Amino acid sequence: MKNDAYRMTQCGTFIVEFAVIVPLLLTFLFGIVEMARIMYIYNTLQDATRRAAFGASVTDYSQQAAMHLLRQRAIFRETPGELILGAPITDDHLRIDYLSLVRNSDNSLAMTPIESARMPSCPARNRVTCTADPNDSTCIRFVRVRVCDPADTTHCQPVYYKPLFGLFPATARMPTSTTIVPAATLGYTSGQAPCP
């Protein structure tokens, strides 16, 4: 009889200890998973901007289909959608800017974004413009890719991290992960006639 009472007490103690430890253990494990995912996203976003920047430096910016495919491939996809295990990042979050190298009044050079309305109509036209004056405000000299919130088209607002589990608040901002590379061919092929 004494042994049965002792076993019941031990069983009750085990259940109480288990009930206290399991939530702590699960919170710790979910925290490790979230931290690993944050590190994955931070590293992947930098790689995505690098891939998009190098791709944009050799892709015809006037071809919208090619630019959409470039963004999709930069986040390791062949179709529109989210980065694998990287929600809410999609191909729309990659913002590609074309920069000129403008000479300031103090003779310094500054990278300046070219507005879409002032972009050369095609890579051949850009080549003509840059040959005439490499510091022209419409001469594409660099390509910049950043991860921005697509809802804000004027500024590059950071994207908020979306946790896998509801245990953790979504207050962390993802990095803008900027990559700037020199403009290469921009899709220009030898002998291509300048467009109007």
**Closest to 87 in 3D by CA, of 152, 160, 178:** 160
Residue 191 lies in a domain: no
Residue 195 lies in a domain: no
> Cα separation of 1 and 13, whole Å?
19
Of 13 and 123, which is predicted with more confidence?
123
**Neighbouring C-beta atoms of residue 192, cutoff 10 Å:** 15
For the stretch 135-185, pLDDT in tens is 999 999 999 999 999 998 889 998 988 888 776 666 778 888 999 999 999
Of 59 and 154, which is predicted with more confidence?
59
> Cα separation of 176 and 158, whole Å?
6
**pLDDT at site 150:** 93
Residue 196 has pLDDT above 90, yes or no: no
> Cα separation of 69 and 59, whole Å?
10
Dihedral sign, Cα of residue 66, residue 113, residue 51, residue 147: negative
Is 135 in contact with 99 (CB distance < 8 Å)? no
> Cα separation of 1 and 111, whole Å?
86
**pLDDT at site 6:** 58
Domain of 35? 2-182
Residue 158 lies in a domain: yes
Residue 28 has pLDDT above 60, yes or no: yes
Residue 189 lies in a domain: no
Environment class of 152 (CB within 10 Å of its CB; exposed 0-12, middle 13-18, buried 19+):
exposed
Residue 193 lies in a domain: no
Of 54 and 37, which is predicted with more confidence?
54
Tokens of 5: 């009472």
**Closest to 147 in 3D by CA, of 56, 77, 47:** 47
Q: Which are the contacts of 53, defined by CB distance < 8 A and separation ≥ 6?
A: 96, 143, 144, 145, 179, 180, 181
Total domains present in the chain: 1
**Neighbouring C-beta atoms of residue 13, cutoff 10 Å:** 10
User: What's the mean per-residue pLDDT of the chain?
Assistant: 89
Tell me whether strands 109-113 and 94-103 are parallel, antiparallel or unpaired.
antiparallel
Q: What is the mean pLDDT of residues 32-54?
A: 93
For the stretch 80-114, pLDDT in tens is 999 998 888 999 999 999 999 999 899 899 999 99
**pLDDT at site 19:** 84
Of 143 and 196, which is predicted with more confidence?
143
Tokens of 15: 């259940």
Residue 26 lies in a domain: yes
Tell me whether strands 94-103 and 142-147 are parallel, antiparallel or unpaired.
antiparallel
Q: What is the mean pLDDT of residues 110-128?
A: 93
Residue 190 lies in a domain: no
Residue 188 lies in a domain: no
Q: What is the mean pLDDT of residues 109-121?
A: 94
Query: What residue spans of the chain are helical by DSSP H?
Result: 2-56, 64-74, 123-132
